[in-house]
């Protein structure tokens, strides 16, 4: 099972948007996916069409006693599952609801038991091919719990001076953390969001990032999308939204997912001699 955390030190760069875009691509591709909303702000929960008073256990409550909960039993279907994709039902997309209770775990600690709370919670989880975790905008205890439970960390950056510098510092923190606390973590990469192809400043920053991050910078870049807020506000998957602008964004999320997701190939049956 692949577990991808979507993270950044800087706020508002598009973590939730990337999480929702990847969830939409996975949903359209029929990959069975669980989204965990680890940000106390819980925007992903809203974007996936889950009511905040839904009768389901939120992630903050489960993190308090990670050995007592079986996560799969508390996952709720995203409202997106009622949407049809080209007249067909798309894949399974479930959500673990976010809540303000997660903020109780913001304090940074070096105690492994604390850092591993989410990893412990996910130990028994087998029902999904992919897990996406939306993180808060900080390198706090919550984000570190996500990293320790992940196989992949995807940093989100914008093509701007402060975002590039912040991403460089986040990679350094991530590398240190990976060595000490995250044995499952295999891939760390950065995706650039809100790219305007015609902008000279963006071209300059993209070239700078390529030099700085090398092959850790993913090929797929997410364009600035004029109706993105409208799509998110409607709690709708970008893959089902009409029009060319949404279709272009959906295609880049397909490419992004392709660059990240490694399907588990079932082992070939041993030949009988």
Ligand X SMILES: Nc1ncnc2c1ncn2[C@@H]1O[C@H](COP(=O)(O)OP(=O)(O)OP(=O)(O)O)[C@@H](O)[C@H]1O
Residues at the contact surface with ligand X, assessed by CB under 6 A:
11-17, 39, 41, 43, 137, 193-194, 222, 224-225, 228-229, 232
Instruction: Choose the stretch contacting Mg ion; rule: CB under 5 A; options: 29-37, 38-46, 151-159, 230-238.
Output: 38-46
- Smallest distance, Å, CB 139 to Mg ion? 15
When CB distances are held under 5 to 8 angstroms depending on the partner's kind, the choice from ligand X, Mg ion, none that residue 254 binds is none
Q: Is 202 in the site for Mg ion (CB under 5 A)?
A: no
Q: Which two tokens stand for residue 260?
A: 């990240």
Q: CB nearer to Mg ion: give 63 or 156.
A: 156
- Smallest distance, Å, CB 10 to ligand X? 7
d(CA 29, CA 183): 29
- Smallest distance, Å, CB 191 to Mg ion? 14
Could you tell me if residue 214 is left (phi over 0), alpha (psi between -120 and 50 degrees) or otherwise beta? left
d(CA 154, CA 188): 6
d(CA 153, CA 151): 7
Q: CB nearer to Mg ion: give 22 or 29.
A: 22
When CB distances are held under 5 to 8 angstroms depending on the partner's kind, the choice from ligand X, Mg ion, none that residue 188 binds is none
Q: CB nearer to ligand X: give 91 or 223.
A: 223
**123 Cβ contact list (under 8 Å, min separation 6):** none
Q: CB nearer to ligand X: give 12 or 263.
A: 12
Find the Cα–Cα–Cα–Cα dihedral 103, 107, 108, 113, rounded to 10°.
Answer: -80
When CB distances are held under 5 to 8 angstroms depending on the partner's kind, the choice from ligand X, Mg ion, none that residue 97 binds is none
Residue of 4, 7, 8, 15 interacting with Mg ion (CB under 5 A): 15
- Smallest distance, Å, CB 223 to ligand X? 6
Q: CB nearer to ligand X: give 59 or 116.
A: 59
Q: CB nearer to ligand X: give 17 or 116.
A: 17
Q: Which two tokens stand for residue 209?
A: 């990032």
d(CA 224, CA 67): 42
User: For Mg ion, how many residues bind (rule: CB under 5 A)?
Assistant: 3
d(CA 182, CA 166): 21
When CB distances are held under 5 to 8 angstroms depending on the partner's kind, the choice from ligand X, Mg ion, none that residue 229 binds is ligand X
- Smallest distance, Å, CB 14 to Mg ion? 8
d(CA 53, CA 84): 25
- Smallest distance, Å, CB 219 to ligand X? 16
Q: Is 16 in the site for Mg ion (CB under 5 A)?
A: yes
- Smallest distance, Å, CB 272 to Mg ion? 53
Q: CB nearer to ligand X: give 9 or 66.
A: 9
d(CA 83, CA 61): 30
Burial 11-30 (b: 16+ CB within 10 A, else e): eebbbbbbbbbbbbbbbbbe
Summary count for the chain: helices (H), strands (E): 10, 9
CA neighbor of 92 nearest in space, from 31, 151, 175: 31
Binding site for Mg ion (CB under 5 A): 15-16, 43
């Amino acid at each position: 099972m692949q577990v991808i955390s979507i993270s950044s030190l800087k706020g508002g760069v598009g973590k939730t948007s990337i999480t929702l875009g990847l969830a939409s691509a996975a949903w359209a591709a029929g990959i069975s996916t669980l989204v965990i909303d680890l940000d106390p702000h819980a925007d992903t929960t809203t974007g996936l069409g889950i009511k905040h008073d839904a009768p389901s256990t939120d992630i903050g409550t489960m993190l308090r006693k990670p050995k007592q909960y079986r996560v799969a039993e508390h996952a709720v279907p995203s409202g997106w599952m009622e949407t049809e994709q080209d007249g067909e039902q798309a894949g399974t997309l479930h959500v673990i609801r976010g809540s303000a209770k997660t903020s109780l775990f913001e304090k940074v600690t070096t105690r492994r038991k604390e850092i591993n709370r989410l990893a412990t919670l996910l130990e028994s989880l087998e029902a999904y091919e992919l897990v996406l975790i939306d993180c808060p905008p900080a390198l706090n205890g919550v984000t570190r719990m996500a990293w320790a439970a992940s196989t992949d960390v995807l940093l989100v950056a914008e093509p701007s001076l402060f975002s590039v510098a912040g991403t460089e510092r986040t990679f350094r923190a991530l590398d240190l953390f990976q060595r000490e606390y995250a044995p499952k973590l295999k891939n760390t990469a950065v995706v650039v969001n809100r790219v305007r192809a015609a902008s000279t400043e963006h071209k300059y920053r993209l070239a700078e990032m390529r030099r700085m991050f090398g092959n850790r910078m993913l090929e797929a870049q997410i364009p600035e999308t004029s109706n993105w807020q409208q799509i998110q506000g409607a709690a709708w998957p970008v893959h089902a939204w009409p029009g060319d602008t949404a279709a272009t964004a959906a295609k880049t999320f397909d490419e992004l997912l392709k660059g990240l997701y490694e399907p588990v190939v079932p082992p070939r049956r041993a030949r009988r001699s």
